Structure 1
Amino acid sequence: MAAPQETPVRNVVVPFEPGTTPAPLRHLGHDEVVARWHSVDRSAQAPHIVAVQGDEGEEWTAAALVTARPHTAYLKIVDAVGDVPAAVEAVAAHARGLELAQIKWEGWTASAESAAAAGFLPLRHPLAQSAGAAGPTTGYVRWLGDAAVTEPPYYGQSTHFTCGAVTALVAQTQAGAMAREALDRRAELTFWRDATNFQACEPVGLGVAVRRAWPSSPVAVHLDTDLPVMLGHLSESEQEWRACLQRMSRDDADGIGVPIDPRHLSVAAIRDAVERGEHVLLLVSLAGMQGFDVPHWVLCHGTAPGAVVIEDPWANAATGDTWVDAHLLPVADASLDAMSAVSPDGFHGAVTIGRPEPGDASAGGPAGE
């Protein structure tokens, strides 16, 4: 007697349209979950539904809302409904088909037990979420291949201009040069005050501030222009005095032994530095990930096949972006290289921080007032 044939599982991927809910999704119930899916305009993050079809082919037995920042190498499950394990495995198959490095799962409805059963690891609770971005209290990650990543603390910047300060503080916290409990708003603003070019942090000033705060940490600045940077949006008179401050920062760098490499730090060099246990504070444009061309600092701290893993201290709540997106974020090598060319002149800026020498740990972090 012939063995009965199993009905193959059929996964479908359909766009998630604002204001509409597919009939098979409505039949699964969970109206309060679907209402959250519609609560913000997620269109900038290519929202789509990954669903599992039933035996009849018309009904769904499971579905997940999936989003991701553009030009990155992950997918994020906002929620899964119905047969949740089947929905999650459908997302994993979808991500593998796209050759992505990772999937994440926001903790709105996911339990620690269901996440662990699906092969996810819990993310550490954020020390702070970025201003205005109230994400879930929990989140989970599942790597789809080999990844050399140790999880740093996640800290969201409390202002629109302290990204450089936060990336430096997170780097030094992960390196053991600063105690985790010292990473707070006071430390953020104290370090920003030492590094700022009013209001942003430019590469040389940021590198000088790191060296001053942690004298035993090797620091190098990488900046492929001799001209003042990040001033094009200001009037001529406003540019003049900030340019003067940047020249002073170069003098300070020379005085305390912070080298300034005039070459573009390539993604290959970033990967090499990270794999040696160093941290790279990288200046990028947000045009690719967020849709507006604003200079922004991120921290490169891990690698995955074909991608560099970053920490982004800012999440864009208006698009459904949360700390789960911004934390342990893999960006494909080519995409990261494109992001690192900062308009309008396409310059490149970065600060590399080596392993602190013994005795450099500071329980209090940067000096306060």
Structure 2
Amino acid sequence: MQSIEPALAEGADAVAAVLARGLADALGPERAALWRVERSGYRPSAHTLDGSDGILAAVLTSGRPATAATKIVDLWVAPDAPGDAADRLIDGVLARASERGDAAVKWELPEGAAVPESAVIHGFAPMRKPWGAVGTEATRGLVRWLVSMPHEEPGYYGQTTLFTCGAVAGLIATERYGTPGFAGQNAPDRDLEIEFWRRASNYPACEPIGLAVTVQEHLGSRAAVKVALDHAGPVLLEDFTGFDYDFRAELQRESRKRAADLGISVDGSRIPMTEVAARVAAGDQALLLIDEAPMHADPGPHWIVAHAAAGPYVVVEDPWVNRATGETWVDTHELPIHVDDLERLVAWGPEGYRGVIFLSTP
């Protein structure tokens, strides 16, 4: 009987070394290309079972920084591997995810692929099919929660432009209240995305109060909207001067007037993420203005929506799918984040101001 020892190779160079040990030839060119996608900033790891004749089974995983989820990208098992090879590898993936404090492990499956038996054995459950996911809709997703997180799974839609994250986050959140939203139809859904952004936009960004006003107008009396923003002046205008600054600042002053007319309260104190987590756990949703730098090593303002929480974890929908690094909607849907990471994420600009929009049932 072959002696089999599980091994873990973490980092892009380590994964490349595993491929060079014969795994690339075993996978074949198309499948090996999936393993070679540039994931260096996204925690790529290879879990392997090695026998005396080489690699018998391997799992590729990744995970977005500043989040609490690991994704299984691919599982390969050699024809002559022991029957428990896949299960042993998945045990290792789950154990490593638990060690690093993850709240969930996800499993990405290509279109038409059957759910692996080991996924069923380890309690992975299917995730809801997205309304739209910028070219990754055909991918299937499973999830195994490592912490108790009872909640209703929302729908998912990936933004189709670089600038419509606020509109998409707002529309995802409004589904809970029975408002017209995404329906999984390409042209109408994109029309809705663009139309909502046009109403909420400060050109091109959606600032907190203007976005809150548009969300409240969309919801009507179905839900109440409140804002927490610890900055008295115009926001998201750090790169503008002169006329470009002035007209956007004027739009923000008009948004504050409109918010007052609609009864939207604006709290100027700085809200801790523990309070956001507590309010979301109690039934609110929260649109969060984040800096993408902790996730992608590239600063930029971005909107996500927090819809569930338990303990130190908040679960969000992130409209941005970074396809260049191998992400699909499986990464960005039902994405858990620890409150300590949210403290770093939910801050923008040199002053690090914090913008949060709460939605709650009246």
Output the TM-score relative to the length of structure 2.
0.89
Instruction: Give the Cα–Cα distance (whole angstroms) in 2 for the partners of residues 275 and 221 of structure 1.
Output: 18
Q: Would you say 1:169 and 2:171 are equivalent positions?
A: yes
CA-atom RMSD, angstroms?
A: 2.4
Tell me by how many angstroms 1:24 deviates.
5.2
Query: What residue identity is the alignment partner of 1:80?
Result: L
Tell me by how many angstroms 1:137 deviates.
2.1
Q: Quote the residue 1:112 is aligned against.
A: 115
Indicate conservation of the 8 Å contact 1:80/1:88, yes or no: no
Query: What residue identity is the alignment partner of 2:39?
Result: R
Instruction: Give the Cα–Cα distance (whole angstroms) in 2 for the partners of residues 346 and 179 of structure 1.
Output: 32
Indicate conservation of the 8 Å contact 2:11/2:40, yes or no: no
Q: Would you say 1:331 and 2:345 are equivalent positions?
A: no
Please give the secondary structure, in 2, of the residue aligned with 1:86: helix
How many pairs are equivalent?
347
* CA shift in 2, pair 1:41/1:113, >3 Å: closer
* CA shift in 2, pair 1:303/1:7, >3 Å: farther
Alignment of 1:124-273 (within 5 A): 124-130=128-134, 134=136, 136-178=138-180, 181=183, 184-216=189-221, 217-273=223-279
Instruction: Give the Cα–Cα distance (whole angstroms) in 2 for the partners of residues 136 and 65 of structure 1.
Output: 20
Q: Quote the residue 1:12 is aligned against.
A: 8
Tell me by how many angstroms 1:62 deviates.
1.6
Please give the secondary structure, in 2, of the residue aligned with 1:52: strand
* CA shift in 2, pair 1:243/1:284, >3 Å: same
- Aligned partner of 1:96 among 95, 98, 111: 98
Alignment of 1:306-317 (within 5 A): 306-317=312-323
Instruction: Say which structure is richer in helix.
Output: 2
Task: Point out the more displaced range, 271-280 or 291-300.
Answer: 271-280
Indicate conservation of the 8 Å contact 1:49/1:63, yes or no: yes
Tell me by how many angstroms 1:327 deviates.
0.6
Indicate conservation of the 8 Å contact 1:30/1:81, yes or no: no
Indicate conservation of the 8 Å contact 2:316/2:333, yes or no: yes
Query: What residue identity is the alignment partner of 1:52?
Result: L
Instruction: Give the Cα–Cα distance (whole angstroms) in 1 for the partners of residues 276 and 150 of structure 2.
Output: 14
What do residues 282-337 of structure 1 show as CA deviations (whole Å, max 9, x unaligned)? 00000000111100000001124422111000111111122111111111111111
Please give the secondary structure, in 1, of the residue aligned with 2:303: strand
Higher relative contact order (CA 8 A, sep 6+): 1
Tell me by how many angstroms 1:259 deviates.
0.4
Please give the secondary structure, in 2, of the residue aligned with 1:214: helix
Instruction: Give the Cα–Cα distance (whole angstroms) in 2 for the partners of residues 245 and 326 of structure 1.
Output: 31
Instruction: Give the Cα–Cα distance (whole angstroms) in 1 for the partners of residues 312 and 329 of structure 2.
Output: 23
Identity of aligned residues (%): 36
Task: Point out the more displaced range, 322-331 or 112-121.
Answer: 112-121
Tell me by how many angstroms 1:174 deviates.
2.9
- Aligned partner of 1:62 among 38, 57, 76: 57
**Structure 2: gaps (5+ residues):** 78-84
Output the TM-score relative to the length of structure 1.
0.87
